[in-house]
């Protein structure tokens, strides 16, 4: 075969050369059509989603609208609405602290009265002040033989009621002296009987420590009292030997001061023990 004549098929005498411009335009047209198809499909999908959401929202709201549009007669009555519970509330028993101990309980029996016992427990210090009156303390003593330091009539009373101890102290002021005697019993009842029966007879006066003897041969004034398991007595007289009569108010005043002081000392004894018990309950 000779290639010298005729040339390639697209050369002179062959098919026409392709229209490159037309081909390019056709390609661009196809690309534009594909792009619009994609955009159109996306828009349709978006519209579909929006429609679905709108339908869901309307459906959800339709229930509330139906309930809110009901007439009042169809709404639940007050009785149907849960209210406060009618079950009884829990209750708690009221508790109150126990009352404080009674001081007198601690001085009414030997079983409970355990504080130290002696002249100093009732008659401390060297002097006693009552208002503006100051008394100097003389001698003190104690004995288990109650009858030995009392006049016969009082001795019989103390023995009959089983006195276990008798404590004495003497005070003096301006020529007048007084001896106080505290008789100790096991029970309050014994002390009360002794006080009731002791309408005569005195505690013997106690001299010493600056106080001269008194009430040995003269008439002196006596007092008789009881508190708790203690009976307490006073013997008051003049140091110069003068008899005490009802007109001697100053002598009565001295005896009353010491009787009152002794009562308070007995009561303080009970208060101290009651306070200790309250602070250290068993």
> Is the domain of 129 the same as that of 264?
yes
Cα 135 to Cα 118, 119, 211, 248: the distances in Å are: 20, 17, 12, 18
Question: Is residue 181 one of the residues assigned to a domain?
Answer: yes
Please state, in angstroms and rounded to a whole number, the distance separating the CA atoms of residues 174 and 170. Answer: 14
What integer is the mean pLDDT of 119-144? 96
Question: Is residue 23 one of the residues assigned to a domain?
Answer: yes
Residues 6 or more apart in contact with residue 212 via CB below 8 angstroms: 177, 239
Assess contact for 181 and 140: CB atoms under 8 A. no
Question: Is residue 99 one of the residues assigned to a domain?
Answer: no
> Is the domain of 137 the same as that of 263?
yes
Confidence class for position 255, pLDDT limits 50, 70, 90: very high
Q: Residue 218: which region, alpha, beta or left (left: phi > 0; alpha: psi -120 to 50)?
A: beta
Written in H, E and C, the secondary structure of 30-89 is: HHHHHHHHHHHHHHHHHHHHHHHHHHHHHHHHHHHHHHHCCCHHHCCCHHHCCCCCCCCC
> Is the domain of 49 the same as that of 164?
no
pLDDT digit string (tens) for 179-211? 999 999 999 999 999 999 998 899 999 999 999
Question: Is residue 128 one of the residues assigned to a domain?
Answer: yes
Assess contact for 172 and 135: CB atoms under 8 A. yes
- The pLDDT score that the predictor gives to residue 2 is 38
What is the residue range of 56's domain? 19-68
Q: pTM score > 0.85 for this model?
A: no
CATH for 149: 3.40.1000
pLDDT digit string (tens) for 214-244? 999 999 999 999 999 999 999 999 999 999 9
Question: Is residue 1 one of the residues assigned to a domain?
Answer: no
Per the DSSP assignment, residues forming a β-bridge with 137 are 171
> Is the domain of 135 the same as that of 44?
no
Assess contact for 229 and 109: CB atoms under 8 A. yes
Is 103's pLDDT higher than 80? Answer: yes
Question: Is residue 231 one of the residues assigned to a domain?
Answer: yes
Question: Is residue 27 one of the residues assigned to a domain?
Answer: yes
Per the DSSP assignment, residues forming a β-bridge with 187 are 109
Query: How many independent structural domains does the chain possess?
Result: 2
Burial class (CB in 10 A: 0-12, 13-18, 19+), 176: buried
């Amino acid at each position: 075969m000779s290639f010298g004549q005729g040339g390639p098929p697209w050369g002179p005498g062959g098919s026409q050369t392709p229209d490159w411009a037309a081909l390019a335009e056709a390609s661009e047209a196809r690309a534009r059509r594909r792009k619009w198809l994609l955009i159109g499909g996306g828009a349709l999908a978006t519209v579909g989603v929006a429609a679905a959401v709108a339908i869901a929202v309307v459906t959800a709201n339709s229930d509330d609208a139906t309930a809110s549009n009901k007439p009042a007669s169809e709404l639940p009555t007050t009785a149907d609405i849960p209210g406060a519970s009618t079950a009884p509330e829990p209750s708690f028993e009221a508790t109150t602290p126990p009352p404080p101990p009674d001081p007198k309980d601690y001085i009414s029996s030997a079983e409970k009265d355990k504080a130290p016992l002696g002249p100093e427990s009732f008659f401390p210090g060297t002097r006693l002040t009552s208002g503006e009156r100051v008394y100097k303390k003389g001698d003190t003593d104690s004995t288990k033989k109650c009858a030995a330091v009392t006049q016969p009539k009082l001795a019989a009373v103390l023995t009959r009621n089983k006195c276990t101890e008798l404590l004495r102290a003497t005070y003096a002021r301006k020529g007048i002296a007084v001896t106080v005697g505290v008789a100790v019993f096991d029970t309050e009842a014994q002390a009360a009987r002794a006080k009731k029966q002791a309408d005569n007879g005195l505690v013997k006066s106690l001299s010493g420590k600056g106080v001269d003897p008194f009430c040995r041969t003269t008439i002196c004034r006596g007092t008789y009292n009881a508190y708790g398991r203690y009976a307490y007595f006073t013997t008051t007289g003049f140091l110069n030997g003068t008899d005490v009569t009802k007109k001697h108010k100053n002598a009565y005043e001295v005896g009353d001061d010491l009787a009152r002081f002794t009562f308070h000392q007995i009561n303080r004894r009970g208060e101290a023990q009651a306070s200790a018990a309250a602070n250290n309950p068993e």
